[in-house]
Amino acid sequence: MQSEKLLQSFIEETRQLINQAEKLKTRDMDTLTWKGNPVSWNILECLEHLNLYGDFYLPQIEHKIRISRTKSDPDFNSGFLGSYFAKSMLPKEKLNKMKTFKDKNPLNEKLDKRVIDKFISQQIKLLDLLNQSRNVSLNRVKIEISIARFIKLKLGDTFQFFINHSIRHFRQIERIESEIVNQRQPLSV
């Protein structure tokens, strides 16, 4: 795939994530902290989980781009593991549950709306990195993944993986919002 086309699709997906986060900013705290049961996440916890991922990946990506001596490639070819991980992140028709690693689990932390601001500023940072990545090789710059440092993914696959992970949790947020609506307006016979 052409590198520039790929970056354009990442930039567009990031724009949509920012817009969805801006919508969440207008919700009240009751909505943002509602949870169906004690062990599932509320909306802020979903976002904080994404922020923890951002804290891990964004500085690493920035560093790897900065020290890279590669040049931009016209085309990007997804790696075997890279495309496997990226695809595994995308939600299926019926949302498949996935295990969360302990250090990325914000369950029952005290959170407020600043979590949303942090998410948006991370997305702005991501846009910046996507723009910077035009000057390096999406194939040859490698990023260590959070679950196993010895697995390294191509920068292009890492962006896809990272963005798909956010899309996945925004799907979860939509589901939480629909549960809230159902709960507040019980079906009457």
Partner 1 sequence: MREIVELSEKTITIDRNEFLKVKGSIDTNVYYVESGSLRVFVLDDFEEQIVRFGYKENLIVSLDSFLTGKPSDFFIQAIKKTVVQVITKQQIDSFLQKENNRILWVRILENLVLQQLEREVDILTNSPKERFHRILRRSPQLFQEIPNRYIANYLRMSPETLSRLKKS
Binding site for partner 1 (CB under 8 A): 4, 7-8, 11-12, 14-15, 18-19, 22-23, 25-26, 121, 124, 127-128, 130-131, 134
Q: In the structure, how many helices (H) and strands (E) does the chain have?
A: 6, 2
Residues 6+ apart with CB under 8 A from 167: 13, 17, 89, 90, 91
Compute the least distance from the CB of residue 33 to partner 1, in Å: 22
DSSP string, 109-161: ----THHHHHHHHHHHHHHHHHHHGGGS-TTT-EEE-SS-TT-EEEHHHHHHH
How far is the C-alpha of 22 from the C-alpha of 11, rounded, in Å? 17
Are the beta carbons of 158 and 139 closer than 8 angstroms?
no
Compute the least distance from the CB of residue 8 to partner 1, in Å: 6
Cβ proximity to partner 1, 107 vs 120, nearer residue = 120
How far is the C-alpha of 120 from the C-alpha of 126, rounded, in Å? 10
Cβ proximity to partner 1, 87 vs 134, nearer residue = 134
Compute the least distance from the CB of residue 69 to partner 1, in Å: 22
> In the structure encoding, which two tokens stand for residue 40, read together?
């599932």
Compute the least distance from the CB of residue 40 to partner 1, in Å: 28
> In the structure encoding, which two tokens stand for residue 113, read together?
């709306």
How far is the C-alpha of 108 from the C-alpha of 50, rounded, in Å? 15
Cβ proximity to partner 1, 130 vs 176, nearer residue = 130
Compute the least distance from the CB of residue 149 to partner 1, in Å: 29
Cβ proximity to partner 1, 26 vs 185, nearer residue = 26
Cβ proximity to partner 1, 14 vs 78, nearer residue = 14
Compute the least distance from the CB of residue 3 to partner 1, in Å: 12
Cβ proximity to partner 1, 17 vs 176, nearer residue = 17
